[in-house]
Amino acid sequence: MASGPAVRARWGRPGEHLGALRSEAVPVLAFYLAQLLAAVTYTVAPDRIIFGGGVVKIPGLLEASRERLSEVVGGALEGHPLTSPDSGYVCSPALADLAGVHGALYLAHDLAESRAPLSTV
């Protein structure tokens, strides 16, 4: 609903080239993303949600999603950080596009360190 292919299918161009359509696209995408964020919050209860990817790079979308999340949840989670769009509950990755690569390398290193050394015969 809010992926790169979905943006292209709905508006006929990729997110980075929405131009004047951005003002129409951002509220729609923010609504879909807020629904996802609410579902994740209700089911997993994370301390923070780090939200990345190409679509989230559309100017204003992350901010609009945070605001819409607060509206979608309403008063159901009074006092929860998601009710304040400026709380940092939903944020972008500090490593930007390198987050996935660095995470994979960290996991590979952690796995290698946890394995017992091979015994020699």
- CATH number, span 4-114: 3.30.420.40
Helix (H) or strand (E) holding 91: strand 90-91
* Tens digit of each residue's pLDDT (9 = 90 or more) over 78-88: 888 888 888 88
Q: What is the mean pLDDT of residues 26-55?
A: 91
Confidence of residue 34 (pLDDT cuts 50, 70, 90): very high
pLDDT number for residue 36: 94
For the chain, the average pLDDT equals 87
* Structural domain boundaries in the chain: 4-114
Does pTM surpass 0.85?
A: no
What single letter denotes the amino acid at residue 120?
T
The beta strand positions in 20-74, using DSSP E, are 49-50
Query: Does the pLDDT value for residue 30 go beyond 90?
Result: yes
pLDDT number for residue 118: 57
- Nearby residues of 104 by Cβ (< 8 Å), 6 or more positions away: none
* Tens digit of each residue's pLDDT (9 = 90 or more) over 57-108: 899 999 999 999 988 888 788 888 888 888 888 988 888 788 888 888 888 8
Helix (H) or strand (E) holding 31: helix 22-44
Check residue 12 and give left, alpha or beta (phi > 0: left; psi -120 to 50: alpha): left
Tell how far CA 108 is from the center of its chain. 23
